[in-house]
């Protein structure tokens, strides 16, 4: 089941092909995927040798995704412990 979600997400995020080569609609969709920012940050550090200060924007966006998703999870899966 995870392959049905992870593989298309990786293709849309630019892991295998650059996002700039995609149609504009798919580029807009890629901007809403956290893996896009993670792959940009990893590629910048590992391939291009960027310092951590150059990928700070991608890391901040990933932290924003983390806060939004965790907030949603805590609200949806709230349980009373007695």
| Residue ranges covered by each domain of the chain | 2-76
Distances (CA, A) of 71 to 7, 8, 30, 39, 62: 26, 26, 22, 24, 14
Q: What angle do CA 54, 18, 34 make, to 5 degrees?
A: 60
The string of pLDDT tens digits covering residues 43-53 is 999 999 999 89
Nearest to 62 by CA among 44, 43, 42, 35: 35
Q: What is the pLDDT of residue 78?
A: 78
Instruction: Show the low-confidence residues of the chain (pLDDT under 50).
Output: none
Backbone angles phi, psi at 50, to 5 degrees: -65, 145
Q: What is the pLDDT of residue 17?
A: 87
């Amino acid at each position: 089941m995870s392959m049905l979600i992870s593989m298309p997400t990786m293709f849309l995020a630019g892991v295998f092909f650059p996002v700039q080569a995609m149609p504009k609609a798919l580029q807009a969709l890629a901007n809403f995927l956290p893996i896009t920012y993670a792959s940009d940050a990893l590629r910048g550090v590992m391939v291009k040798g960027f310092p951590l200060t150059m990928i700070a924007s991608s890391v901040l966006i990933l932290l924003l995704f983390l806060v939004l998703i965790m907030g949603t999870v805590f609200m949806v899966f709230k349980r009373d412990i007695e």
